[in-house]
Amino acid sequence: MEPFMMKWLNNGEVVLPDLHMPGSKRIVLITHDESTFYAYDRRKKRWIHVSEKPEPVRKGEGASIMVSDFCSPDLGWLKSKDGTREARILFKAGKNRDGYFDCDDLCKQIETAIELFEEHFPNKSAIAAFGFDNAPSHQKHAADALSARHIPKGTRHWWGKDGKAKMRNTRLPNGQVQELYYPDDHPNHPGQFKGMAKLLEERGLFEEANLRAQCPNFKCEDITAACCCRRVLFNQPDFQNQKPAIFELIERHGHIAFFYPKFHCELNFIEQCWGHAKMHYRMLPLTKNEAEMEKNVIASLDKVDIEKI
Ligand SMILES: [Zn+2]
């Protein structure tokens, strides 16, 4: 199955993902996005009193606060029913600050978002359709995800590309489970990774199993050809259809995830929410410290109420 995506046609039309599902449960759009607020981002022109002296404008953008949040036309910014808990995360990116917001941070935030959503729609009375920008950081796979990129051709001890997580078992198109590792009590290869050649053989691809491990640097001339073991396995449907970690997490909870089309983030209506919040933010006076700045960011975001959303 294709990941759940909006399609962008050549004539400029957009085809929304088909949100009609069997059983006709209500589907609620929840869109995610990240945006950064800068300390010195201020409106440059304003009316001043005759007694006011011009102040020199600070250079650069100053400290920044990144906001990662979920927003819905039905629920506004995603919060608990009593409004005391929220999905929003403020993140001070950079060295000696909060570090960097990565896929694990986003996964944790998604867990909270699902919990809050299910408070509004108990007993799975609605399904959330989570929309994300199609950014590389959002496409990251789980540690044990199927990948043909780094696996050896031969049978040997191999514990994932960073040596930490065994790759998960897979299911062939006919529904049969294929184990990627030999069992721990195997006489010759206890607990070892089967290797690309063996995995291809088990799929009935005997000729392909005899190909070289990979073309130089895995830069195959024709990416559809059966030129090397890695390319053949890479093009197998189960390896092709490996979904990003955030999609797997959401689908595990019975909800839907999709990407907005690449380079068309304007289709994500949350962009207008950020725009409105920033318009308000830029009118506020310059702040002296991060705590003050944080207060301004939150106040500006909350200016975008559900009516506007
Ligand atoms: Zn190749």
Query: What tens digit of pLDDT does each residue of 244-257 get?
Result: 999 999 999 999 99
Q: Let me know how many helices (H) and strands (E) the chain has, helices first.
A: 8, 10
DSSP-derived secondary structure letter, 256 = E
Q: List beta partners, residue 288.
A: none
Instruction: Compute the distance from residue 147 Cα to the ligand 1 centre, in Å.
Output: 15
183: Cβ contacts below 8 Å, ≥ 6 apart: 190, 191
Mean pLDDT of 78-87: 93
Long-range CB pairs of 298-305, under 8 A, 24+ apart, other chains included = 298/90, 300/37, 301/67, 301/69, 301/77, 301/88, 301/273, 301/277, 302/77, 303/276, 303/277, 304/77, 304/273, 304/276, 304/277, 305/76
Distance from Cα 207 to the centre of ligand 1, integer Å:
14
Calpha distance 72→239 (Å, rounded): 33
For residue 244, the CA-to-ligand 1 centroid distance in Å is: 24
What pLDDT shows up at residue 220? 96
Q: What is the mean pLDDT of residues 180-186?
A: 96
* Secondary structure (3-state) at 288: coil
The residue with tokens 């590309």 is 161
Q: How far is the CA of 196 from the centre of ligand 1 (A)?
A: 13
Q: Which two tokens stand for residue 200?
A: 């291809």
CB atoms within 5 A of ion ligand 1 belong to 215, 220, 227-228, 231
Q: Is the pLDDT of residue 193 over 90?
A: yes
| Burial class of residue 95 in the structure, from the number of CB atoms within 10 Å of its CB (0-12 exposed, 13-18 middle, 19+ buried) | exposed
User: CA angle, corner 103, sides to 102 and 109, nearest 5?
Assistant: 95
Query: What's the confidence (pLDDT) of residue 93?
Result: 74
Confidence at residue 270, expressed as pLDDT on a 0 to 100 scale: 80
What does the pLDDT average to over 108-130?
94
For the chain, the average pLDDT equals 85
What does pTM read for this prediction? 0.79
Element at 105 (helix H, strand E): helix 103-120
Q: What is the mean pLDDT of residues 268-282?
A: 82
Task: Label residue 263 by pLDDT band (50, 70, 90).
Answer: low
Q: Using only C-alpha atoms, what is the Rg of the chain?
A: 25
Cα 200 to Cα 55, 75, 205, distances in angstroms: 70, 49, 5
User: Band of the pLDDT at 307, cuts 50, 70, 90?
Assistant: confident
Ligand 1 centroid to residue 225 C-alpha, Å: 7
Tell me the pLDDT tens digit for each residue of 12-53. Answer: 555 555 555 555 678 899 999 888 888 777 655 555 565 655
